Amino acid sequence: MFIIENYTTAVVFCIVTMLCWGSWANTQKLASSNWRFELFYWDYVIGILITSLLFAFTLGSMGEGGRGFLVDIQQADTVNIYSAIIGGIVFNLANILLGAAISIAGMSVAFPVGIGLALVVGVIVNYIDAPIGNSTFIFAGVALIVIAILLNANAYRKMLAGNTASVSSKGLALSVISGLLMGLFYKYVANSMFPDFTHPIEGKLSPYTAVVFFAVGIFLSNFVFNTFLMKKPFVGAPVSYSDYFKGTSQSHLMGIVGGSIWCIGMSFNIIASGTAGPAISYGLGQGATIVAAIWGIYIWKEFKNAPQGTNTLLNIMLLCYILGLGLLISAK
DSSP 111: I
Query: For the chain, how far is it from start to end, CA to CA, in angstroms?
Result: 25
Q: For 11-63, give the DSSP string.
A: HHHHHHHHHHHHHTTHHHHHS-TT--HHHHHHHHHHHHHHHHHHHHHTTTTSS
Which whole number is the average pLDDT over 166-186? 82
Predicted confidence at residue 304, as pLDDT, reads 76
Comparison of pLDDT for 324 and 47, the residue scoring more: 47
Tell me if 263 sits within 8 A of 211, measured CB to CB. yes
The pLDDT mean for the chain works out to 89
**Is the predicted pLDDT of residue 224 greater than 70, yes or no?**
yes
Own/partner contacts of 67-76, CB < 8 Å, gap of 24 or more, are 67/1, 67/200, 67/206, 68/1, 69/1, 69/206, 69/208, 69/209, 69/212, 72/200, 72/205, 72/206, 72/208, 72/209, 73/209, 75/202, 75/203, 76/203, 76/204, 76/205, 76/209
Predicted confidence at residue 117, as pLDDT, reads 85
Domain count of the fold of the chain: 1
**Is the predicted pLDDT of residue 188 greater than 90, yes or no?**
yes
Q: For 207-226, give the DSSP string.
A: HHHHHHHHHHHHHHHHHHHH
**Cα angle: 323, vertex 178, 309; to 5 degrees:** 50
Tell me if 172 sits within 8 A of 111, measured CB to CB. no
In a domain, 248, yes or no: yes
Which whole number is the average pLDDT over 201-210? 97
DSSP 200: -
The pLDDT tens digits of the residues spanning 40-87 come to 999 999 999 999 999 999 999 998 889 999 999 999 999 999 999 999
328 CB-near residues (< 8 Å, 6+ apart)? 123, 137, 138, 141, 142, 280, 283, 284
In a domain, 140, yes or no: yes
| Whole-structure pTM value | 0.87
Comparison of pLDDT for 283 and 231, the residue scoring more: 231
In a domain, 2, yes or no: no
Tell me if 238 sits within 8 A of 86, measured CB to CB. no
Please state which of the ranges 110-119, 263-272, 309-318 shows the lowest mean pLDDT.
110-119
Which whole number is the average pLDDT over 236-259? 95
- Residue 66 belongs to domain spanning: 7-330
pLDDT confidence bin for 290, thresholds 50/70/90:
confident
The pLDDT tens digits of the residues spanning 119-172 come to 889 989 999 988 989 999 999 998 898 888 778 777 766 776 655 444 457 878
Predicted confidence at residue 168, as pLDDT, reads 53
* Separation between Cα atoms, residue 20 and residue 255, nearest integer Å: 14
Predicted confidence at residue 173, as pLDDT, reads 86
**Is the predicted pLDDT of residue 6 greater than 80, yes or no?**
yes
Please state which of the ranges 2-16, 23-37, 97-111, 197-211 shows the lowest mean pLDDT.
97-111
Q: Calculate Rg over the CA atoms of the chain.
A: 19
Phi-psi domain of 62 (left: phi exceeds 0; alpha: psi -120 through 50; beta: other):
beta
Please state which of the ranges 206-215, 260-269, 291-300 shows the lowest mean pLDDT.
291-300
In a domain, 1, yes or no: no
Predicted confidence at residue 314, as pLDDT, reads 85
Which whole number is the average pLDDT over 34-42? 92
**Cα angle: 202, vertex 86, 139; to 5 degrees:** 90
Task: Give me the numbers of helices (H) and strands (E) for the chain, helices first please.
Answer: 15, 0
Predicted confidence at residue 309, as pLDDT, reads 80
* Separation between Cα atoms, residue 8 and residue 237, nearest integer Å: 48
Predicted confidence at residue 166, as pLDDT, reads 42
The pLDDT tens digits of the residues spanning 9-25 come to 999 999 999 999 888 88
The pLDDT tens digits of the residues spanning 89-107 come to 999 999 899 878 877 776 6
